[in-house]
Amino acid sequence: MNVAVGVQATNSVGSLLFSANRGSTSKELILAQTSALNCGSKNLFRHNTLHSKSKVDVVQRMKYCPAISASATESSQTMENAEVETENLGILDVDPSLEPYKDHFEYRVKRYVDQTQLIENYEGGLEQFSQGYLKFGFNREEGSIVYREWAPAAQEAQLIGDFNGWDGSNYKMEKNQFGVWSIRIPDSGGKSIIPHNSRVKFRFKHGNGIWVDRIPAWIKYATVDPSRFAAPYDGVYWEPPPEESYQFQHPRPPKPKAPRIYEAHVGMSSSEPRVNSYREFADDVLPRIKANNYNTVQLMAVMEHSYYASFGYHVTNFFAVSSRSGNPEDLKYLIDKAHSLGLRVLMDVVHSHASNNVTDGLNGFDVGQSSQESYFHTGDRGYHKLWDSRLFNYANWEVLRFLLSNVRWWLEEYRFDGFRFDGVTSMLYHHHGINMGFSGNYNEYFSEATDVDAVVYLMLANRLIYNIFPDATVIAEDVSGMPGLCRPVSEGGVGFNYRLAMAIPDKWIDYLKNKKDEEWSMNEIMLSLTNRRYTEKCVAYAESHDQGIVGDKTMAFLLMDQEMYTGMSCLTEASPIVDRGIALHKMIHFITMALGGEGYLNFMGNEFGHPEWIDFPREGNGWNYDMCRRQWNLLDTDHLRYKFLNAFNRAMNLLDEKFSFLSSSKQIVSSTNEEDKVIVFERGDLVFVFNFHPENTYEGYKIGCDLPGKYRVALDSDALDFGGRGRVGHDVDHFTNPEGIPGVPETNFNNRPNSFKVLSPARTCVAYYRVEDYPDETVATTTIVADSLEEETDGAEDVSPVLKKSAPVEKSAAPSLEDIPSTEKIMVSGQPGDSDCNPSTASDFKISVPLLSSTHFPFVRGYLLV
């Protein structure tokens, strides 16, 4: 979900990655960046005293601090996070530019430490505190069902449902001093009084004497009568007998070096105009994801949401699976099936806001009471005016219990492998990012506008996740680029693994809608893709699921539009529009993956260029499902060109599987030539050449590289099996030539000590690998790159013929590494802990590598409720 409507990111000299003129070489790029950053860092940042130590009084700030758990007791047990120091924060060592904001970091870290200590004292620790679902909601205790609900505003309360004919007069609940209502219902004849899969609700009377019925806040399943239009949801008591309870059979797959994420919506994953099921997705879609060499599935819309068209972001029941696609056991089957295929599963978790619905949502418990007795803030602070939703009070004790337990529930009960936290920007700031421009000025991140309550919650949540599952992947959907968001809690960071690189898809949409091909700037594309903070990982993606919602189009449809209805058949020659569209679709997705981050994400269907747009069934379209599905038949029809895009997507992922370039800290952009429209860069052990020129093919095009030796094609977008023209020879050996004096960049070619020549056709991209590094690899020539790379043969058949006038290649003997030493690797971005690079300098060039700030290219985020 787009987290901040009206958010804009603008340029800031103090945080630019590069500062260079059009057409400049890498030497000019690198030398210019240092002075720009150094000058900016001195003048841009000023001391922030908004959060001084004298203002820290966490216990006084606590709005509500009850302890109802049986394990709530004073404890002398050492805190798990005692290593977090409030004085010597590691995050300041990572980014010294944050020093002026030391008071802010010390303030929020002390808030975190004190909050953790309070939980330790009153609940026995975060472990016990986060198991609220064992106390709240429905639980089996000593031959009885015990139901507990936190509703301090209620005057009287009853439990009603199918089991008592919806008459709660004999099932009155009792209230304790902390506002928790409870009832114990003993079994009868060894059987539960409340049958499995029967409907239940919480009935209570509030201050004005009115009785209302609500779905229990901790309910684990909720359903609606499909035969009744606009029928309200009902809570369902879910306690299946052993023979109906799904038992996991497969362990969690190991954590990959880099996540290649397939973002999917189960409901709209069928090719038929209907809601798909968890089991159908598991059996029919998961094999497609595996075949395309993804290693992670990210599931949207898992938490129950009564409004289907909200894309799952207006959650009504936080512990319940979306009943449209099946029951809890069906979802477990899906996750277990994914694990059996070696796929990790992430879940979209929405803790940034809640549905405004009263009858079936958490908002129904708000009957005008004070904030300390509610899940939400009161007044304007508790309402997101652009999302029409309620906002949590993260300082409230029971809200912390509810949300932290929710995180644990999905990890342990369903064995998810991590989360994508939705709407993090809205959580981080009191203004929620609305109509805000984030320029990279650190004052925008660390001020009174920062919602420290929410920051502390996110720190607690991330610590809890890693305590439960150390190999978890946790991604923040944040558009602001807050420094420290993806640094460990122990350093004073918020603790996420990755941040979504949300500016990248906006940049591509801007180019496709507003610029002619010849107006595309190679420098600007490179800056957009590499503009991320050093040591804070990003997940890059070329197009967002939001961009396909009604009112806009998928990237493929933007490129080819109505030609996709008539021009996608291989039985006829491709029109110029289709030819351009297929070529640019491959290039945009590949360069985004190769240069945009340390992980990659693709939304379901975009891998094969799904046409048109997404439109959920609603009154405005006659409740039609035609635009709320995935047309797999387009991919499966052999004579349609969709297969080429899918094949290239599969090959992109396999390239990372074989060469691990996403996880490599080596990222060097050696050339962004505006006249030629060519970008050349190195990532990991590969050299990439992207020719965006609409017409020019370059023979004998000279590109720089690090190591000397022999290079071959690893992946070629122009291969025939990818819908290309087969102009690049895959059986050609490209030998390097030394360039200048090793270690003296001004004598090198584009600051690289070696070079080789290639053929670079218009609108193509090619990745090259050094044969000496992978002596057992064969030539990658077909769409089934897996076969061509994994099978050791003397030589692979070349199905992509060489252009008749191929570039001359000088096949001189390759210099040895001893004769020509490699330069140190210049880090455009990277992560600590890599032994093959210096995380702060590029020693041969004597240039400091800057600490990068947030995104700063103009774009506007929007969220559309259909």
Mean of pLDDT values over 168-194: 96
Q: Bigger pLDDT: 447 or 83?
A: 447
Catalytic residue among 336, 422, 579, 607: 422
**Amino acid 44: pLDDT:** 27
Is 215 in contact with 235 (CB distance < 8 Å)? yes
Q: Bigger pLDDT: 383 or 778?
A: 383
DSSP class per residue in 525-566 = HHHHHH-S-TTSEEEE-SS-GGGGBBTB--HHHHHHTTHHHH
- Alpha-helix residue ranges (DSSP H) falling in 166-294: 278-280, 286-291
Token duo for residue 136: 């709240």
3-class SS at 286?
helix
Is the model's pLDDT at 49 over the cut of 80?
Answer: no
Question: What H or E segment, with its residue span, contains residue 713?
Answer: strand 710-716
> How far is Cα 668 from Cα 837, in angstroms, rounded to an integer?
12
Mean of pLDDT values over 840-860: 27
Token duo for residue 818: 């001893």
> How far is Cα 448 from Cα 430, in angstroms, rounded to an integer?
8
Token duo for residue 335: 């996750």
Mean of pLDDT values over 576-603: 98
Model confidence pLDDT, tens digit, residues 398-434: 999 999 999 999 999 999 999 999 999 999 999 999 9
Please give the single-letter amino acid code of residue 206. Answer: H
Question: 80's torsion region: left (phi>0), alpha (psi -120 to 50) or beta?
Answer: alpha
Is the model's pLDDT at 287 over the cut of 90?
Answer: yes
Label residue 21 exposed, middle or buried (CB < 10 Å: 0-12, 13-18, 19+): exposed
Is the model's pLDDT at 857 over the cut of 60?
Answer: no
Is 131 in contact with 405 (CB distance < 8 Å)? yes
- Look at the block and give the residue holding tokens 């959907």: 477
Phi/psi at 405 (5° precision): -65, -35
> How far is Cα 434 from Cα 429, in angstroms, rounded to an integer?
10
Instruction: Give the lowest-confidence range in 34-43, 321-330, 763-772.
Output: 34-43
Model confidence pLDDT, tens digit, residues 740-752: 987 888 899 999 9
pLDDT band at 832 (very low <50, low <70, confident <90, very high): very low
Model confidence pLDDT, tens digit, residues 372-382: 999 999 999 99
Phi/psi at 34 (5° precision): -65, -50
Question: What H or E segment, with its residue span, contains residue 236?
Answer: strand 234-237
- 422 carries an active-site annotation: yes
Model confidence pLDDT, tens digit, residues 54-71: 333 333 333 333 333 323
> How far is Cα 322 from Cα 355, in angstroms, rounded to an integer?
14
Q: Nearest-5° angle of CA 230, CA 235, CA 241? A: 130
Token duo for residue 26: 């890498």
Question: What H or E segment, with its residue span, contains residue 106?
Answer: helix 102-123
**Amino acid 4: pLDDT:** 42
Model confidence pLDDT, tens digit, residues 235-266: 999 999 999 999 999 999 999 999 999 999 99
Label residue 90 exposed, middle or buried (CB < 10 Å: 0-12, 13-18, 19+): middle
Model confidence pLDDT, tens digit, residues 724-742: 999 999 999 999 999 998 7
Cα–Cα distances in angstroms (integers) from residue 148 to residues 207, 441, 789, 801, in the given order: 20, 47, 58, 71
**Residue positions counted in the chain:** 866
Is the model's pLDDT at 789 over the cut of 60?
Answer: no
Question: What H or E segment, with its residue span, contains residue 37?
Answer: helix 26-44
Instruction: Give the lowest-confidence range in 17-31, 449-463, 490-504.
Output: 17-31
First CA to last CA across the chain, in angstroms? 13
Q: Bigger pLDDT: 690 or 4?
A: 690
**Amino acid 86: pLDDT:** 65
Is 86 in contact with 113 (CB distance < 8 Å)? yes
pLDDT band at 73 (very low <50, low <70, confident <90, very high): very low
**Amino acid 85: pLDDT:** 67
DSSP label at 734?
E
Percent pLDDT > 70 in the chain is 79
- 388 carries an active-site annotation: no
Token duo for residue 754: 């070696």
Is the model's pLDDT at 847 over the cut of 70?
Answer: no
Token duo for residue 830: 């990277």
**Amino acid 778: pLDDT:** 59
Question: What H or E segment, with its residue span, contains residue 654?
Answer: helix 642-659
Sign of CA dihedral 690, 8, 534, 597: negative
**Bridge partners (DSSP) listed for residue 765:** 690
**Amino acid 207: pLDDT:** 85
Is the model's pLDDT at 341 over the cut of 90?
Answer: yes
Instruction: Give the lowest-confidence range in 48-62, 572-586, 639-653, 727-741.
Output: 48-62
3-class SS at 203?
strand
pLDDT band at 618 (very low <50, low <70, confident <90, very high): confident
Closest CA to 153 of 357, 365, 420, 412: 365
> How far is Cα 49 from Cα 342, in angstroms, rounded to an integer?
49
Closest CA to 17 of 592, 594, 527, 523: 527
Catalytic residue among 114, 239, 477, 739: 477
Token duo for residue 680: 């050349």
Mean pLDDT of the chain: 83
> How far is Cα 753 from Cα 743, in angstroms, rounded to an integer?
8
Is the model's pLDDT at 187 over the cut of 70?
Answer: yes
